């Protein structure tokens, strides 16, 4: 218990506003925990555990740091006087005033802020956005002080109704409920609230079934898209290339397409890790894919990326996320135009390429098991236990069927 050190540090990665979060780092018996203090600064304005003169209100915030350090030492001393071998979670609970008596008064909105900051620091911008959207919807519904104990089954049902009245469909409602459920699980796993407060045993998100809209192209529709003459519409070539590349690379997601680097292409294959599932992919480069790669290779751009979406090599996670949404919006808008030119009724989006690839392979006789592995559906545990029997040769062979269309 004597091996406890306390130190103020700043996060290595900048947050979305370019500033760095300030933490209290607690190390005990070689285990480390960093507790966010809700303070931010530039990297050069934090030296030797305090703010420099260049930081706004540096005197006031340095006084706050002194009080927080004294509070932290008092907590360690209290544990020692009780001869209690505390855990780092127990220390954090005490530091934040979250003891057994006050656990039911933990503000879910404040905890959302903590998790959002953690996600931003870790560069998980998409996750932070998802939490932020749910937090915003909650505040709009019930204000910025919502205790976990107040989020009951009845609360969730009324929240669902409010979301629906504000134009949310089942998919959007389920999305927000999953983020709220994840927040509960994090609070429980960190010992901040008890399992008794968990409302999702009774409130089932699965009831919010999505309306099944037609999202896959027929074989005839795909051929019309594939063979479309864009010589008089050069501004649509970019979107068409991305759509076809995704289709012929086993439904590669847009986020993985934009991050694809020339170094990921070796010995006639594309090797990459899927961002969503972290699954490893090795895809043979067929003729149609090679033609698209040649098109962008000839541009001889000064970046490591295959496609002209990320224009610099040193972009931050926040910048990459912003760029992704901007370009994807443009691509989907132009895919809509492509669909109209090809006289295709299905609303064309980047995701339709992935869904169409799977549906067309199924129509051509490929087994569901192989299609599942082609798409990297690692969340289907029962299926994936035997899908591993299929090696890359089999997956390549099945994917080549798409060339026969």
Answer whether residue 127 shows pLDDT above 80: yes
How open is the CA angle 241-242-246, to the nearest 5 degrees? 115
Supply 151's token pair: 């989020």
Answer whether residue 185 shows pLDDT above 90: yes
Question: What pLDDT shows up at residue 177?
Answer: 95
CA distances from 228 to 197, 237, 241, 307 (A): 57, 10, 12, 21
Answer whether residue 359 shows pLDDT above 70: yes
Residues 152 and 202 in one domain: yes
Nearest to 140 by CA among 111, 103, 168: 168
Residues 180 and 72 in one domain: no
- Beta-sheet strand order (sheet of 4-10): 4-10, 20-28, 31-41
CA distance 272 to 280: 6
Question: What pLDDT shows up at residue 200?
Answer: 95
CA distance 8 to 133: 30
Residues 53 and 176 in one domain: no
Mean pLDDT is lowest, of 132-146, 264-278, 364-378, for 364-378
C-beta of residue 331 within 8 angstroms of C-beta of residue 239: yes
Residues 189 and 177 in one domain: yes
- pLDDT tens-place string over residues 64-92: 999 999 999 999 998 888 888 888 888 88
Mean pLDDT of 201-222: 79
Query: Of 64, 97, 130, at which residue does a domain stop?
Result: 97
- Beta-sheet strand order (sheet of 269-273): 265-266, 269-273, 280-284
Question: What pLDDT shows up at residue 13?
Answer: 81
Give the helix/strand (H/E) hosting 153. helix 153-165
Residues 107 and 84 in one domain: no
Query: Of 212, 232, 266, at which residue does a domain stop?
Result: 212
Structure confidence at residue 24 as a pLDDT band (50, 70, 90): very high
Question: What pLDDT shows up at residue 383?
Answer: 27
Q: Show the DSSP H helices in 42-150 as ranges.
A: 58-81, 88-95, 108-121, 125-142
Mean pLDDT of 295-304: 93
33: Cβ–Cβ under 8 A, 6 or more apart, which residues? 25, 26, 88, 89, 91, 92
Question: What pLDDT shows up at residue 380?
Answer: 40
Whole-number average pLDDT of the chain: 86
Residues 243 and 389 in one domain: yes
- pLDDT tens-place string over residues 40-73: 999 999 999 999 999 988 999 999 999 999 999 9
Bridge partners (DSSP) listed for residue 39: 22
Answer whether residue 183 shows pLDDT above 90: yes
- pLDDT tens-place string over residues 240-268: 999 999 999 988 999 999 999 999 999 99
C-beta of residue 65 within 8 angstroms of C-beta of residue 49: yes
Answer whether residue 310 shows pLDDT above 90: yes
Question: What pLDDT shows up at residue 139?
Answer: 95
Residues 140 and 7 in one domain: no
The total domain count for the chain is 3
Residues 257 and 243 in one domain: yes
Question: What pLDDT shows up at residue 292?
Answer: 96
Mean pLDDT of 166-179: 91
- The parent domain of residue 341 ranges over 219-404
Q: How many residues does the chain have?
A: 405
Residue tagged 């099944």 (tokens)? 212
Query: Of 97, 120, 152, at which residue does a domain stop?
Result: 97
DSSP state letter for 346: S
Residues 77 and 110 in one domain: no
The CATH number of the domain holding residue 194 is 1.10.150
Residues 245 and 338 in one domain: yes
Residues 225 and 194 in one domain: no
Residues 333 and 345 in one domain: yes
Answer whether residue 230 shows pLDDT above 90: yes
């Amino acid at each position: 218990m004597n091996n406890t050190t306390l130190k103020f540090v700043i996060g290595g990665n900048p947050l979305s506003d370019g500033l760095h979060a300030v933490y209290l780092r607690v190390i005990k018996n070689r285990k480390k925990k960093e507790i966010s203090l809700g303070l931010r600064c530039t990297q050069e304005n934090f030296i030797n555990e305090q703010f420099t003169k260049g930081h706004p209100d540096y005197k006031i915030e340095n006084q706050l740091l002194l009080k927080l350090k004294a509070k932290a030492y008092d907590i360690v001393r209290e544990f020692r006087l009780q001869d209690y071998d505390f855990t780092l979670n127990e220390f954090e609970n005490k530091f934040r005033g979250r003891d057994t008596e006050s656990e039911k008064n933990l503000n879910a909105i404040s905890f959302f802020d903590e998790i959002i900051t953690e996600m931003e620091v870790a560069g998980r911008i998409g996750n932070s956005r998802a939490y932020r959207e749910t937090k915003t919807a909650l505040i709009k519904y019930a204000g910025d002080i919502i205790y976990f104990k107040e989020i009951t089954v009845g609360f969730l049902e009324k929240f669902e109704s409010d979301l629906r009245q504000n134009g949310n469909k089942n998919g959007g409602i389920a999305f927000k409920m999953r983020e709220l459920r994840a927040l509960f699980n994090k609070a429980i796993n960190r010992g901040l609230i008890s399992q008794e407060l968990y409302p999702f045993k009774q409130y089932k998100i699965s009831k919010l079934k999505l309306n099944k809209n037609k999202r896959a192209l027929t074989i005839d529709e795909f051929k019309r898209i594939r063979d479309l003459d864009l010589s008089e519409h050069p501004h649509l070539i970019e979107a068409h290339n991305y759509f076809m590349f995704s289709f012929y690379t086993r439904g590669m997601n847009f986020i993985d397409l934009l991050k694809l680097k020339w170094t990921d292409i070796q010995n006639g294959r594309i090797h990459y890790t899927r961002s969503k599932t972290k699954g490893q992919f090795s895809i043979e480069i067929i003729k149609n894919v090679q033609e698209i790669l040649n098109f962008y290779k000839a541009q001889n751009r000064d970046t490591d990326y295959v496609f002209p979406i990320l224009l610099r090599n040193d972009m931050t996670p926040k910048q990459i996320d912003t760029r992704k949404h901007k370009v994807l919006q443009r691509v989907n808008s132009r895919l809509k135009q492509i669909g109209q030119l090809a006289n295709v009724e299905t609303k064309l989006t980047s995701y339709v390429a992935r869904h169409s690839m799977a549906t067309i392979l199924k129509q051509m006789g490929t087994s569901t098991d192989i299609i599942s592995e082609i798409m990297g559906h690692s969340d289907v545990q029962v299926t994936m236990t035997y899908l591993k029997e299929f090696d890359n040769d089999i997956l390549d062979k099945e994917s080549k069927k798409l060339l026969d269309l």
